[in-house]
Amino acid sequence: QVQLVESGGGLVQVGGSLRLSCAASGRTFSSYAMGWFRQAPGKERDVVAAISRTGGNTYYDDSAKSRFTISRDNAKNTVYLQMNSLKPEDTAVYYCAASRTVSSASYRIRGYDYDYWGQGTQVTVSS
């Protein structure tokens, strides 16, 4: 069982930055590929970024490329999402998720591949 707790969301102006953190319980954090998803009102939950168990491989949705950076610190059981140059369309609830993965080099981009989810943190970008 893994419990995930997100933090770092809030209200920011267009062009601003936020860093989201997701702290995981347990001693097997390095066994999980991690992902960040977001869901805006009336829309589906979509992947934003994903990272492999070791952090060596990452994925970004087109909307996040060049603006967001996903990283992880396995010693701290934490995954991060650095978000720069924020836009109003980035407004959403952001969720982190954990996928138990055999391969240390793989990441997951589909929600149904994830085993555990956090409760979400709201990000609001004002224009």
Task: Summarize pLDDT for 31-58 with one digit per residue, the tens.
Answer: 999 999 999 999 999 999 999 999 999 9
Task: Give residue 1's pLDDT.
Answer: 84
Average pLDDT of span 62-70: 97
How many Å separate Cα 26 from the centre of its chain?
18
The CA distance from 83 to 20, in Å, is 8
Can you tell me the mean pLDDT for 55-77? 97
pLDDT value of position 26: 80
Mean pLDDT of the region 87-106? 95
pLDDT at 120: 98
pLDDT bracket for residue 113 (50, 70, 90): very high
pLDDT given for residue 102 in this prediction:
86
Q: How many residues does the chain have?
A: 127
Asked whether residue 27 carries a pLDDT value surpassing 90, the answer given is no
- The C-alpha torsion from 62 through 39 and 127 to 50, rounded to 10°, is -40
Distance CA 41, CA 77 (A): 30
Neighbours of 32 (CB within 10 A): 27
Q: What is the mean pLDDT of residues 65-94?
A: 97
Averaged pLDDT of the chain: 96
Distance CA 118, CA 87 (A): 23
Query: Over 90: is that where the pLDDT of 12 sits?
Result: yes
What are the b/e assignments for 45-56, b being 16+ CB within 10 Å? bebbbbbbbebe
- Alpha-carbon distance of 17 to 25, in angstroms, equals 27
